[in-house]
Chain A
Amino acid sequence: MADEHARKWDRCLADTAVKTVTGLGVGIVVSFIAFKRRAWPLSFGSGLGLGMGYSNCQHDLRSPYLIHGRMVKDQ
């Protein structure tokens, strides 16, 4: 369980980072396209991503008995 806890944390952090960057990227694109290269879609997108990641991490940590499975391909 302890390992799972650590794994969860790893996953959570990774996911949050990804989401943040993704949000940032989407923000850049959106700001580039729609909002005339303003800065706010960037922070908005990154915030969006951060928030999603945070929520996801929280949800994951809240349900401790839910273990993520990994698809193992048959080789």
Chain B
Amino acid sequence: MLRACLRGANATARKNYRRIPLTSLQQCRHYTAGEGSSASKVVVAGLLTVSGGIGGTVLYAKWDRLCLCVCVFSLEECNECHEHKEATAVHPAPTEPMKERPVEEVAARLAQQEQEEQDISASVSASLEDSLASSAKATLQAIGAQEAALQAIMQHTDKLKEAMEAEVLPEEKSNQWKDLEAALADRTTALNDARAALSKANESLDSLRSVIDESKGLKISSVRPLVLAAEENLHNMVVDLDKMVMKCFCVLAGKLSTDDLNALIAHAHRRIDQLNRELAEQKVREKIHIDAALEQQKLEDQKALDSAVNTALQHVKEEARLDQERKLAELREVMEAEMRTQLRRQAAAHTDHVQDVLKVQEHELKAEAEQVLSSKMLEQETRYRQLTQEQLDNFTLDMNTAYARLKGVEEAIDSHVVAEDEARKAHQLWLSVEALSYSLKTAEADVPTVPLENAAQAVRDSCRDNDFALALASALPEKSLQRGVYSEASLRARFNSLRSLARRVALIDESRNSLYQYFLSYLQAALLFEKRQEAPPSQLSSEDLDPFKLLSYASYCLEHGDLELAAKLVNQLRGEARRVVEDWLIEARLTLETRQVVNLLSAYANAVGLGTTQAP
């Protein structure tokens, strides 16, 4: 706002500048002869303008409050205000220094007078300012109100014209008429407001005028410019106000042209038609409304009836409910009493039950206690029994050990007896075996021994319960028992004779057994000489299987008492030689067998005797 006003001020300053330079330019035209002087004039004019602008803005700053209000409503007012200010500013500016110059001579008094004047002027200016401010405000308000009234009138007029001229639907028409009525109301109110504001402004202007007159009456020169300014302001304000009023009035007066009148008539006719139509419509509507109202009335009656019925129903319901409640309460009492009796009964039953349960528990506990007691008793008993058993066992153990020892002693004795018996038996056996071996040894040259039956029987008798000896004794060959065996000497002798025979038939075997072979064999025996006795090697090779060699080996063995080896060697003979010495071989085997058994028996008897014989 301030900037706008400043711009306004500058614009006015420029306007003023335009005004003043006109005069200054006129002055310049008069004095166009001197260029330098024109330049100085221009400079002076510029300076003046600048100072005027500055002064104006200063005063405007004082009237800042006022100008704000003015600028809100219209910028022209502000400009006019500024014009006033400029006028007042410009004029006092040059007068001030003019005043001050003649006063300088009487400095003190003038200063005092000046001071007084300044005080008065200050007060006056203050009062002027106040009154100006108030009057300006009121004026502005009045102007504003007038403007508003003007606007309202214009609006109303427009609306009227629109309503008259426009051909729209009846509803719209009625709306328009309503708007029109509203506009009319607005207009009236605006007019009233304007009138009121105008009166107020006039009052304030009158007051201002009075103040001005007062201040004029003071006759102080310093006040005069202010007064002048105030007067001018007042004048301007009055002018503006009157202008506005005039405008309003003019607008209000509103001469209607013939066209307008015709339009008005036509419009009036139209309006009449419209109204007639509306009337008809209204009648119809009324009828409808009446019907609707009747219907509504019916509905309302129905509703009333319903509501009455509802209320009656509710009452009845309520009564029934109350009855029910009462009955319920009575029933409850009865039930309560019954429940009490039942509860009493139940309590009694409960006590009985509790008694029973207690009894049962008592029994149970008793049983448990008895069980515990019995178990403890049992335990004690078992322990006692265990101890006794232990004692018994120990005793038995001792007895058993003693008995065992006794038994051992007895057994030892028995075994001794047995051993002695055995020893005796062994001796007997040994004796009998010795007899047997003796009988075996005593053999003559060509005659076999005595039958060993007796000796064998003796041996068998002496070893009745000894299986081994018995087995051995029964292992003796039958022939030796029955017939006896040949001694070694006899066998030896026999062998010698057999040897020559074997030599003679050495060449004969199954394949070669013709007489010619016999002759050849005899020839061989006659011509072949071998050692009489030759020591046999430990192992026989194939060349040792020659009959002659074998016979010499066998002779050697026999001479050295080794019948077994001799028999083995003789066993190697083959063919006819073998058949010839077969008998001898059998006999030799028999002898060997018997001797073996007898040797075993003897050894056994010795062993037994050794075993049983106690060392002294």
Contact = CB atoms under 8 A, between A and B. Distances in A.
Interface of A: 1-2, 5-6, 54, 57-58, 61-62, 64
Give the interface centre of A1, A57, A61 by most chain B CB atoms within 10 Å: A1
Interface string B505-533: 10000000111001000000000000000
Interface in B119-150: none
Nearest to A6: B501
Given A2-B501, A5-B501, A58 B515 contact: yes
A58 B513 CA distance: 7
B579 to A, nearest CB: 6
Nearest to B583: A1
Given A1-B582, A57-B515, A58-B515, A64 B576 contact: yes
A1 B579 contact: yes
20 contacts: A1-B579, A1-B581, A1-B582, A1-B583, A2-B498, A2-B584, A5-B505, A5-B579, A5-B580, A6-B501, A54-B515, A57-B515, A58-B514, A58-B515, A61-B513, A61-B515, A62-B513, A62-B514, A64-B576, A64-B579
Contacts of A6: 501
Nearest to A65: B579
A60 to B, nearest CB: 10
Contacts of B505: 5
A61 B582 contact: no
B575 to A, nearest CB: 10
B162 to A, nearest CB: 184
Contacts of B513: 58, 61-62
Contacts of A1: 579-583
A1 B587 CA distance: 12
Interface in B571-603: 576, 579-584
A54 B498 CA distance: 26
Nearest to B584: A2
Closest 4 CB pairs of A and B: A62-B513, A58-B515, A2-B580, A1-B583
Using C-beta atoms within 8 Å of the partner chain, give the interface range for chain B: 10 to 19
A33 B346 CA distance: 171
A2 B499 CA distance: 10
A6 B583 CA distance: 14
A42 B307 CA distance: 195
A6 B497 CA distance: 12
A6 B500 CA distance: 12
A51 to B, nearest CB: 11
Nearest to A57: B515
B295 to A, nearest CB: 170
B518 A61 contact: yes
Contacts of A61: 513, 515, 518
A54 B584 CA distance: 30
Contacts of A58: 513-515
A2 B577 CA distance: 9
Nearest to A5: B580
A1 B508 CA distance: 15
A2 B573 CA distance: 14
A62 B501 CA distance: 17
B501 to A, nearest CB: 5
Interface in B548-583: 576, 579-583
A61 B510 CA distance: 10
A54 to B, nearest CB: 6
A1 B576 CA distance: 10
A61 B579 CA distance: 12
Give the interface centre of B497, B580, B582 by most chain A CB atoms within 10 Å: B580
Nearest to B502: A2
A4 to B, nearest CB: 9
A64 B576 CA distance: 8
A2 B583 contact: yes
A42 to B, nearest CB: 23
B585 to A, nearest CB: 10
A19 B513 CA distance: 21
Given A2-B497, A57-B515, 20 more contacts: A1-B579, A1-B580, A1-B581, A1-B582, A1-B583, A2-B498, A2-B501, A2-B580, A2-B581, A5-B501, A5-B505, A5-B576, A5-B579, A5-B580, A6-B501, A58-B513, A58-B514, A61-B515, A61-B518, A62-B514
